[in-house]
């Protein structure tokens, strides 16, 4: 009985620690540039990198991409969404093994902010999961979320 428990424990721990889509295998990085036309607004060029040996599937939205999945470490920084669309639909994205998914968004500061860190809450999907005829909010409630923290960077001078 002890041998069975030991074998089961080893098997489960190897599964947990070897999961291909942990925070260690998916990373979030970005650069920040000042906006030419809008004071206090910055453009963010972001990338999600899949360092694992398996494809990674995640949720975004047709109208706003990943904008609603980004948060800032400073309460004086918000994601600046230019168009709020009530007709958005869920989109299933994939990143190939060792691949990168590039996207852009804007942030806006309210007050004096010198440095900012950004977080990304990725809603993980399985290869077989179908998003058709579902809302993004219902999918978010059911699926696992992988929260990734990016670097804390200085904001460019305006």
Residue 10 lies in a domain: no
Residue 28 lies in a domain: yes
**How many helices (H) and strands (E) are present in the chain, helices listed first?**
2, 9
Contact of 58 with 27, CB cutoff 8 Å: no
Q: What total of structural domains would you count in the chain?
A: 1
| pTM for the whole structure | 0.82
Residue 11 lies in a domain: no
Contact of 140 with 91, CB cutoff 8 Å: no
Residue 158 lies in a domain: no
Per-residue pLDDT in tens (0 to 9) along the chain, 158 residues: 444 343 434 333 333 333 445 557 999 999 999 988 889 999 999 999 999 999 999 999 998 899 999 999 999 999 999 877 777 899 999 999 999 999 999 999 998 999 999 999 999 999 999 999 999 989 999 999 999 999 999 999 87
- Adjacent-strand bridge partners of 41: 108
Residue 101 lies in a domain: yes
146: containing domain: 19-153
Report the CATH number that the domain containing residue 96 is assigned in CATH: 2.60.40.10
Residue 91 lies in a domain: yes
């Amino acid at each position: 009985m002890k041998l069975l428990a030991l074998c089961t424990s080893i098997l489960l721990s190897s599964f947990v620690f070897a999961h291909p889509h942990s925070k260690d295998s998916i990373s979030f990085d970005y650069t920040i540039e000042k906006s030419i036309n809008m004071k206090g607004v910055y453009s963010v060029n972001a990338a999600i990198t899949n360092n694992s040996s398996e494809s990674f599937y995640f949720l975004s939205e047709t109208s706003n991409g990943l904008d609603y999945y980004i948060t800032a470490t400073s309460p004086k920084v918000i994601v600046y969404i230019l168009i709020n669309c009530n007709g958005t639909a869920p989109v299933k994205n994939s990143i190939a093994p060792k691949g990168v998914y590039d996207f852009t968004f804007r942030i806006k500061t309210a007050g004096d902010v010198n440095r900012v860190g950004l977080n990304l809450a990725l809603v993980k999907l399985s290869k077989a999961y179908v998003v058709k005829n579902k809302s993004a909010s219902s999918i978010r409630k059911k699926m696992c979320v992988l929260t990734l923290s990016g670097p804390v960077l200085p904001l460019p001078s305006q």
